[in-house]
Structure 1
Amino acid sequence: MRSRPTLSTKLLAMGAGFLLVALASIGLTLWVTWKLEGGAAAVNEAGRLRMNMLRMVLVLQTEPPEAVQERARQFDASLELLRTGDPSRPLFVPWSDETRTRFDGIRTRWAEARTGWVSALPPDRARNLAEADAFVQQVDGFVDAIEIQIAGWTAALHLFQLFMMALAIVAAVTFMAVSYLLVINPVARLQQAQARLRQGELGTRLPVDTDDEFGQLSAGFNLMAHALQASHDELEHKVREKTASIAVQNQRLAALYEVSALASTASSLELLAQGFVQQIRRVAGADAAAVRWSNEANERYVLLAGDGLPVAMAEGEHCLHTGSCLCGQPQEQARTRVIPITPSTEVALPHCRDAGFETMVTIPVKMQMRMLGEVNLFFRSPVEMTDELRDLLEAMTRHLASAMEGLRATALEREAAVAEERGLLARELHDSIAQSLAFLKIQTQLLRDAVARGDDAKRDRSIGELDVGVRECYSDVRELLVHFRTRTSEEDIESALRATLSKFEHQTGMVTTLGMVGHGLPLAQDVQIQVLHMVQEALSNVRKHSGATRVDVLVHRHPRWRFEVQDNGTGFDVTAVPPDSLHVGMGIMRERAQRIGAVVQVESAPGQGTRVCIELPSVVPAQTVAVASEGPFAQAAYAAQADIPHTANTP
């Protein structure tokens, strides 16, 4: 079979034909133009012959014979140039019979005239002019013949140009028609098919009419459309699958989020277990669920919460010994298991089988290799657990374990806070009220001895000492109440210091001032509490021992926090007194300073007052200060000890 030419072959053949025609027309035009330029140059040269003839006649009349001979040689050279031509200029005569006859006549006429002009005879002026006129007429005829030839070439060039114009029009029309048939129409069909394909008509196909490039493109387009349609159908299927998978994942994430929210909000183990058992039953699609708690030794499992459990099953399995039934796995065997419950299954407690359950899933609740409990899911039909569901249930159970451990840690923290609070109460009572009560006990014994002996002077002195001791003890109790009520609610400690000084001034009548110097970062709340209590201890020592009338508190915020308490009291010799026996509050102050890495310095001299300086480090170390322990419980304890009504505004 003969193969049809391809589109490329057709376009190349058409282009080659157009190129050959264009080159031929351009070459012919250049050749005709070259001929015309040569003929025009010949006309100019022939005109120069006329001018030279006139000069020759003039030379004959005025110049010597040598000049005449020189002029004759130049004339011969011009004739020879016309005969042979000069392609470099270009210059050549468009020879024809007429031009050749005319040129031969010019040469003959010149030969006859030249013979007479170069002789030694004196020139005959009239005869020379007649011969010159005849020669000029011969040249004019020669020029006319050349111009006729040039006019013919020019007319032929114009006709050829008109022909080329018509040929260009025909070629353009032919090219447009062929382009439309071979290129534009197939491209338009491809564009229309592409537009339909882009609009979603995946069944669009193109007819394959030819085996050229556009036929191959059409076949390739059909293959692409078929592949795209198949891929689209497959993609829709995959999208539906992924959408379903994402929906499942969203449900699981929602379940995990709900478990996390429950773990962060549950205030007790019972509330946590009850909320969790409802959520895990809903996620697993179980008919019933139970959460069991195990003691630290993993000896037994106690039912914390159940959802959907029959009453008899909940009461009968409230507490299970480890390993006594399908529920309650030993720690070394704890893992997620799917257990079928059949009539032949050996169970120590048949409650689940009697309730109609056919499958049980057990999930251990473990935290750091410690068995915290177990989650049981009950189904009334056989169940096959997928890996995704297993991972989800185990993740929810890990959240439950973390929440249970968090509640346990919170309980331990509360217990530690209570223990620290009790220790703080014991230290405060021992260092303040216990001292006064011991003194009162001694004075009471002295009073009893004085009454027994009838010593009125000692009796009255003991009564006075008792009165002073009771007043001191009462003042200590009031001061402790103020001490434990003080809290910082602002970022800056200034407001709390002003409130403390205001109460101190109201109780003692001393003049107080507060100065704040510099700017710095605020102190943490726990550090503020400790610093504030140390300042209160310093003020208490001023009240008890200094005999001052004025107290100045100066606070430096930069470069580090420094608190100075200065009084104008009697003062004392610091070097003469052991540090542990300055006065009762100093031990408490040093203990508080040690907690936050601060330094307490005491400067005093007899008659010059006392200055207590509390300087904090540049970076306060992180300390676990039980601020909450110094709260309402402590206030209530002190109020009970002092038998004073516990109110927020007690001075």
Structure 2
Amino acid sequence: MSAIGCTLLLSWQLEGSAAAINVAGSLRMNSYRLGMQLAADGPGLPAAAASQLRAQLVQMDAILTQLSRGDPRRPVFLPPSADIRAEFDRVALTWRQKVAPRVLGLLDAQAPAGAVRVRALQGDIEAFVREADQLVNLIERDSEQRTFWLRSSQLMLLALALVGTVSVIYLFFNMIVAPVERLRAGMGRMRERDFEVRLPVESKDEFGQLAHGFNQMADRLQGLYAGLKQLVSNKTAALEEQNRELALLYDSAAFVQQQQSAESLCDGFLQRLCDYFKADGGSVRVLDPVRGNLHMLVHRGLSEDMVDGEHCIKVGECLCGEAVQKKVSVVHDMRHMAQRDQLRCHREGYATVSVFHIHAQGQHLGFFNLHFRTPVTFNAAQRALLDTLGQLLGTAIENQRLAAREREMAVSEERNLVAQGLHDSIAQGLNFLNLQVQMLEQSVRGGQAAEVEAIVPALRAGVAESYQDVRELLNNFRTRLPDGNMAASLKETVEKFQRQSGIPVRLEADTDGAPFPREQQLQLLFIAQEALSNIRKHAHATQVTVRLHDRQDFELSIEDDGVGFDPAALQSQGDGHVGLHIMRERAQRIDAQLSVDSRPGGGTRVALRVPRAVRRAA
């Protein structure tokens, strides 16, 4: 590599020196051209000739500057020699102190230049050309010397190639041919059933590993022939273990096919795993991909402190969150971890914690843990079994979600049919009534019944309000949810309310809890829509505040600064107030707690709360 680098450097320097010779040679050509121009023009210099001479002076200065600074891109540079640099300085000095000033003097003089001054200038040019010749000769001698070193380095490369070839042949024979011959001879003896043959392991390279593997094969063959009975026993034990694995798979597959809630499904799945692997504890977590949360759905054998502290973790947080982020199944041995004292699992007394993923159709749904207080290791077969069980559970959870979405679609289609029926009957009837009222108004205006004309505007206002209520009912029936995002649906409802009523609304949303089933989300959204509809119809409010707090408990409140009402008087009406009655029925369907606080002139607050005890996971 050094010889190659030296060759490249010398080649680059020779290229630069050759270009420098050409550039330095151009000094002589330009100098002669300058002298010939002065001799041809004689004592008087026309304006065009003077302009051309000035351009040649600028070109000569540019050439000297290029030689002085060099140009690595061409490349062009003077060789790094003290003699060459000194000669170049003399050439530059002669040009700048003698030739260039004389030429400029001739060009700047008012009177025509005399022949004596021109001949003196030509003498200076001759001296400048001799110095430039000397500079070119020095560069050529330096190039000859570098050419000699270039050829020497090339000869060195040739010698290195010859030595390397001989060395490679020698090493090839000793490191490859000889070990292969020994291996061939050993295989010949093994073919003759000489199981005592062993190869010497003389290195740690691939042939050493091959010889070691050959010796292991010989040991195994010798052991097989010597202990066939033990081998049959081991195979029988392996078959029994496989039968246990198949029994677990069959039992788990049959269990997850049953109709049950997600909590019951995961709890029965976790129980079977804990019993099979004799785990001291475990948990199943589901992933909320929207917020990056991992919610603990079920657990076994874990302390309440650990459950409360880790009921919800972020992706990338702690050991389990890191495994989800990397999407790999891991088994952590707490004894060999540097920061084990900072981990809650280690403080709880667990020595081994495993993380295996739940996924279906390429979609990551969560993971399950197995905790052991004594150190445990999983072989490849057990890891494959747990991965398969994770796929089985993931498929069952995904099937539950698909079934829930199918039910939602069926309900949605039914609501669309109801909405269509309402639109085709009540809405059109009200519209027709509105037209009739307009015609009646026109007729009355042409007559003398003044009292009838006073009633008609109120009648029209009632008809218009009824029509608006029907349209709002139709919109509510057609409500659809985004994928598990309650906050987005609530925001869309609030924006629609603002557009319809013109009342400003402040929305405060703090959502980090587990997602609701889609049926529950629809009921919650309908309650919010009904509360906002009551505000639009009756409250005469100027400001509405909607607060959503979604953690372990779900809380939704809708407040207005309207006229309010007397709850005692409303209670005496029984179920006469249809809006509140509908909201209470919807709250009862999802086991939620609904409260309405109001007083005349003090606004109204509708609060909805779903405790963690009755909250179901999606």
Question: Shared fold (TM-score greater than 0.5)?
Answer: no
TM-score by length of 2: 0.33
TM-score (norm 1): 0.32
